[in-house]
Amino acid sequence: MKTKLTLSAVLVASALALSGCQQDKPVEIVKAPLTEKDAEKFLGDVESELRALYLESGQAQWIYANFITHDTANLSAQSSQKFTEAVVRMANDAAKFDGLELSFDNRRKLDVLKLALTLPAPQDAEKTARLSSLAAQLDGMYGKGKYCKTDGSCLSLGDMTSIMATSRSYEELLDVWQGWREVSKPMRSLYQEQVTLTNEGAKELGYADTGAMWRSKYDMPADDFANELDRIWGQVKPLYDSLHCHVRAKLGEKYGTDKVPQDKPIPAHLLGNMWAQTWGNIYDLVAPENADPGFDVTDLLAKHNYDEIKMVKGAEKFFTSMGFEPLPESFWERSLFTKPQDRDVQCHASAWNLDNKDDLRIKMCIQKTGEEFAVIHHELGHNFYQRAYNKLPLFYQESANDGFHEAIGDTIALSVTPSYLKEIGLLDTVPDESKDIGLLMRMALDKIAFIPFGLLVDQWRWKVFSGEIKPEQYNQAWWELREKYQGVMAPLARSESDFDPGAKYHVPGNVPYTRYFLAHILQFQFHKSLCDIAGNKESIHRCSVYGSKEAGEKLNEMLEMGSSRPWQEALAKLTGKPEMDANAVLDYFAPLQAYLDEQNKDRQCGW
């Protein structure tokens, strides 16, 4: 976009032309310097254009996610290309104001605009089109992925997820684990090309590479942010190491120490999850003795005839009990709650706000389990956050940082305690505190086990974007990071003909992953603060803020800020201090840490 001439510049040029001055040299027109008023006009124009683009793009993406076909893929790619080209243009125009002294508000909006794209595209229409096409192809390959066996039978990811959760056959788990990773092999060359193109776009915007651009979204220098993640991980690592040691010992008892060596990382297919990112599905193998609380949420949901809609209504009720308004009627009309039998859809759970106002939706192929009940709380957390900030300028209609968005629903899920289950009629009696170790173990298998995985996905991508990890090292580096952070290893030989990172949705889907690491820290910080506000007198892991209007009011004050201020200020609004701190995690799991220390006394820990 060319800089618009001011009226005074045009008048000066006209006067020179009429004055009879010599014309043997071209007249040099000096453009007036940009001002804050120019920035405000630019931002106003951009906001109007963005509103229309967000709606058009959101509708195209929604249709594609719910009806995966060749045509909807093309429409999605075209819409994505149009949106990307517009935002690339806007971001580059925003960069023209970089040297100008502006108000905090205008500077922040311009910075938001420069960092708006996850995959910044080069200012070249052909390259932008190719980048959009690559993103759509990768997304579609994942969404349509199936494992078809030699007998002609095929398993969807949902089918394989269930097998990973319930099977205790070493060979069956290995077969399914390997089968799903056949889906990601063809993604490798497409992903490599995508990295090259998006790095080119990031450099045009003034960033070293796409990873550096992603890290610049956190209200601190990119390198300082990376150091902050390492600091927080250092706080949690001793608890994770204790959990890892106990789980490995129990898996060794189940499958034999020849299959699970007690001085090496754990084979990735034995942890109850396709990506070994959460381990809750193997609770039965590692549970403390006599710690069964006497109930299972999946069983309770079935006993009380909870279908998919009733599960969502139950999660909504938690938010309304804290003073939030119910979801709009359109949410129930337009959301996807169950997997259709007649078409391919993206079953990965997600929350949507299509019009940046009140067109809130979720897309989920809900399974009637306790785990999915927690996921629904998580997704509705996004929706209630989206509604809370929808009166802000479009630039600020986002969470304080992306970890906040992921943390809100999980914070509410931490209040799904036995006392809460009793209060809503799912449970008859609350177990005494002697049963808490079992509940904490189950929680840790999901929450604590996830934390290093939440860190390493973007550690891999940042190194890929920077060139530290070369294309010929993609898979090797992936497993090196998984062994380093998680103490998890591939159960069979892998090579560079594989592309195991692509077996995780967020890699081909280009969704930054550090947000989930942050969320697993922030949710405990939020929970502790909300419990204090609600006047909780019990142990932090027994607290539920269900029904606390005081906690709801304080939470909403933070949500309404959106991203209008640095995330440190939003954090302080709720917790009273601006730093992320994992001590709330350690406080929550303190009884479990003592139990694990006792169990691991005579074991060799580490890998």
Residue 154's alpha-carbon distances to 170, 482, 600, in angstroms, are 20, 29, 42
Give how far the C-alpha of residue 112 lies from the chain's centroid of Cα atoms, to the nearest Å. Answer: 18
The residues, ordered by sequence, that sit 6+ positions from 99 with a Cβ below 8 Å of its Cβ are none
The residues, ordered by sequence, that sit 6+ positions from 18 with a Cβ below 8 Å of its Cβ are none
The answer as to whether 387 is a domain residue is no
Which pair of tokens denotes residue 239? 């608890």
CA distance 221 to 226: 9
The answer as to whether 31 is a domain residue is yes
Residue 380's alpha-carbon distances to 257, 326, 338, 386, 542, in angstroms, are 43, 11, 16, 10, 22
The answer as to whether 54 is a domain residue is yes
Owner of token pair 């009140």: 358
Q: Which amino acid is at 529?
A: S
Output the pLDDT for position 32: 77
Catalytic residue selected from 165, 182, 308, 348:
348
Angle, in degrees to the nearest 10, between helices 170-180 and 157-166: 150
Owner of token pair 């799912």: 426
CA distance 484 to 487: 6
Q: Minimal CA–CA distance to 27: which of 39, 7, 12, 46?
A: 12
For residue 50, count other CB atoms closer than 10 A to its CB.
20
Query: 3-state class of 336 per DSSP?
Result: strand
Query: 3-state class of 210 per DSSP?
Result: helix
Which pair of tokens denotes residue 232? 């927080």
DSSP3 helix / strand / coil % (the chain, rounded to 5)? 60, 5, 35
Output the pLDDT for position 16: 28
Q: Minimal CA–CA distance to 399: which of 515, 506, 318?
A: 515
List, in sequence order, every residue forming a beta bridge with 148; answer none if it has no partner.
154
Query: 3-state class of 148 per DSSP?
Result: strand
Catalytic residue selected from 246, 269, 377, 378:
378
Output the pLDDT for position 107: 95
CA distance 336 to 357: 19
The answer as to whether 55 is a domain residue is yes
Which residue positions in the chain have pLDDT lower than 70? 1-30
Catalytic residue selected from 316, 372, 379, 483:
379
CA distance 417 to 402: 26
CA distance 441 to 280: 9
To which H or E segment does residue 524 belong?
helix 514-533
The residues, ordered by sequence, that sit 6+ positions from 269 with a Cβ below 8 Å of its Cβ are 164, 173, 174, 176, 177, 276, 491
* Count of alpha carbons within 13 angstroms of residue 473, beta-carbon side: 12
Using an 8 Å Cβ cutoff, are 183 and 142 in contact? yes
- pLDDT tens digits, one per residue of 206-228: 889 999 999 999 999 888 998 99
For residue 197, count other CB atoms closer than 10 A to its CB.
22
Owner of token pair 């932008």: 128
Using an 8 Å Cβ cutoff, are 477 and 469 in contact? yes
406 noted as active-site residue: yes
The answer as to whether 123 is a domain residue is yes
Q: Compute the Cα dihedral for 132, 134, 135, 141 and give only its sign.
A: positive
Q: Residue 486 has what DSSP assignment?
A: I
Which pair of tokens denotes residue 344? 């391919």
Output the pLDDT for position 27: 54
Q: Which amino acid is at 208?
A: A
Helices (H), 148-260: 157-166, 170-180, 187-204, 210-215, 222-255
CA distance 567 to 114: 18
246 noted as active-site residue: no
377 noted as active-site residue: no
527 noted as active-site residue: no
The answer as to whether 544 is a domain residue is no
Which pair of tokens denotes residue 528? 């502790």
Catalytic residue selected from 385, 389, 420, 516:
516
Q: Minimal CA–CA distance to 428: which of 551, 263, 299, 569?
A: 299
The answer as to whether 11 is a domain residue is yes
List, in sequence order, every residue forming a beta bridge with 363; answer none if it has no partner.
336, 350
246-255's contacts with Cβ under 8 Å and 24+ in sequence apart are 246/286, 246/596, 246/599, 246/600, 246/603, 247/271, 247/279, 247/282, 247/286, 247/445, 247/449, 248/487, 249/599, 249/600, 249/603, 250/285, 250/286, 251/282, 251/285, 251/286, 254/168, 254/285, 255/170
Phi, psi of 160 (to 5 degrees): -70, -35
CA distance 30 to 35: 15
Catalytic residue selected from 351, 406, 477, 490:
406
Output the pLDDT for position 351: 93
348 noted as active-site residue: yes
Burial of 1 (0-12, 13-18, 19+ CB in 10 A): exposed
pTM, full prediction: 0.84
Output the pLDDT for position 26: 53
Catalytic residue selected from 246, 377, 382, 527:
382
Catalytic residue selected from 244, 405, 506, 520:
506
CA distance 331 to 318: 17
Where in the sequence is the domain holding 96, given as residue range(s)?
7-16+26-138
The answer as to whether 602 is a domain residue is no
Query: 3-state class of 548 per DSSP?
Result: coil
336: left (phi over 0), alpha (psi -120 to 50) or beta: beta
Catalytic residue selected from 13, 86, 287, 349:
349
Which pair of tokens denotes residue 81? 């290309």
Which pair of tokens denotes residue 361? 């939706």
Which pair of tokens denotes residue 158? 């949902």
Output the pLDDT for position 265: 98
Output the pLDDT for position 526: 97
382 noted as active-site residue: yes
User: Total structural domains in the chain?
Assistant: 1
CA distance 304 to 51: 43
CA distance 303 to 297: 10
